[in-house]
Each structure stands twice: as structure tokens, then as C-alpha cells.
Amino acid sequence: MRIILLGPPGAGKGTQAKAMARRLELPHISTGDLLRQNVSEGTSLGKQAKGFMNKGMLVPDELVARMLSARFKQQDIKKGFMLDGYPRNLAQARTLADMLKDGGMKIDAVIYLDTSESVVIQRLGGRLVCKSCGANFHIKNMPPKVKGVCDNCGGALYQRADDNEATIKNRLNVYEKEVSGLIEYYRKAGLLQRVPADEDAPLVLDKIVKLLQRNNDFSKV
Ligand code: AMP
């Protein structure tokens, strides 16, 4: 099964993609995570991407496409994937379609996490991420059992460099500008499924699972 999760920054794409990936035993591919990994390893891609990311701007399509294409060559994606953070615009959606076609694959569903702006700002402002396993927490909505420590692996929690008010606003503006074309593209392709996503993560996950079960014969969901 190949699923794309769409939605504004803070919609819960990462949280839901991780949960769905675990449930379906599929790899979770997050272009944001892959880029952050490149930044922290100081690769040439990471050096080129860092400035864009810190300003809340999109990293140039060509760089992200090259990175994703390399990821798609790995064996584990043969059984499917949960794609999170890509595509971010129409050009990327077309690039993705070409990449998948070359590999004899196609997308099964696009889940759009429909979230209001106030919820997004509240979520991003308090988000905490584990340095080791990437799990997400929230200062208020989902605090870790021990302050600053990941419940899952004991790793240190940090706030992302781009989760500050000015950058959050810029990321939302960038998203707004690009999203309508993207939604229309997947709606026309008959793939788009809207899920209201203002509620807490477990409730939203439930809705996604029910939707996939209703529309498809996914025995594992
Ligand atoms: P995310 O973790 O998805 O919120 O992404 C964090 C940042 O990584 C974004 O604000 C962009 O700067 C960059 N990024 C992630 N995915 C993409 C993409 N598909 N295209 C361009 N830039 C991206």
C-alpha cells in the first residue's frame, strides 16, 4: 500500500504517518526527516538545504527529488510506504508520479489532514522531538513522562529550529500558496480523502483507519 499524507505543517502528518507505518508494517518516508538527517550529518545536500529550512522556505525541488529518488531505490519500499512531507507543490506531485511510474508503482490513497490554523500554531509552538528516534511530543497536549526525555527510547527531546513563531508563519504561507493546486490534482485523480484532524492524535488515527477500511480491502489496517 502506498499512501501520501498531506496537510499543513502541524497537521500531525509525522505522528499519523509513524503510527500508520507501524500498524501496516510499512516504511515511513518523511522528506523533512531525511533533510534534517542530511543537515545534522553535514552532507553537501544538508549544507544546501539548511538555509531554506531555517527560513521556513521550501528546499529547491530538484534537491529534494534527488534525495527521494535515492530513497525509492532501497529495497524496503517494495512493499509500500507512508509518504509524509512530499509532494509540497504541483511540480513535486508530477515528479513523484514519474518516479513511481519508472518503478512500476502507483499511489493508492492521499489522505488530507484538514486542520484549522489556530490548532496548527498551538501544536507547532509546543512540539518536542526526540533526537534519537524522532518521536513527537507536545509540551501541553502530549507531554513526556519525564521532562526532556523520550518515553519510547530515553533520548533527549528538543524543539525544532523552524518551530518558532516567525518561521511557522512563513511555513504556513508557503503551504497555503501551494496546497490548492495539489489538492485539486489528487482530487481529479480520485485519490483524495479528507480527514478532519483538529482532534487529538489517537482519534484522528482512528478516523484514518476507518476510512481506509471502508474504501479498500486492507486486511492489516
Ligand atoms: P517538515 O518536517 O515536513 O515540516 O519539513 C521541514 C522543512 O523541510 C520544510 O519547511 C522545508 O524547508 C523542508 N522540506 C521538507 N519536505 C520538503 C519538500 N517536499 N520540498 C521542499 N522542502 C521540503
63 φ, ψ (degrees, to nearest 5): -65, -45
Residue of 4, 16, 31 to mutate, ligand 1, most atoms within 8 A of C-beta: 31
Residues in the chain: 221
Q: What's the mean pLDDT in 68-81? A: 93
- Quote the CA–CA distance of 109 and 100 in Å, as a whole number: 14
Residue 60 counted as domain residue: yes
Does residue 167 lie in a domain region? no
Range of the domain at 62: 2-116+191-215
Q: What is the per-residue pLDDT across 161-211, written as a single tens digit (0 to 9) for each?
A: 899 888 988 898 889 888 889 999 999 999 999 999 999 999 999 999 999
Q: Would residue 81 count as lying in a domain?
A: yes
Q: What is the CATH number of the domain that holds 79?
A: 3.40.50.300
Residues in contact with ligand 1 (CB, 6 Å cut-off):
9, 31-32, 35, 52-53, 56-59, 64, 85-86, 88, 92, 162, 171
Given a cut of 70, is residue 219 above it in pLDDT? no
Q: Is residue 124 part of a domain?
A: no
Residue 169 lies in a domain: no
* Placement of cell 533533510 in the chain: 35
- Per the domain annotation, does 151 fall within a domain? no
Residue 42 belongs to a domain: yes
pLDDT at 129: 94
Protein residue with least CA distance to atom 11, ligand 1: 58
**pTM of the predicted model, to two decimals?**
0.87
Write the pLDDT tens digit of every residue in 75-128: 999 889 999 999 999 999 999 999 999 888 899 999 999 999 889 989 999 999
Which residue bears the cell 501496516? 24
Domain count, the chain: 1
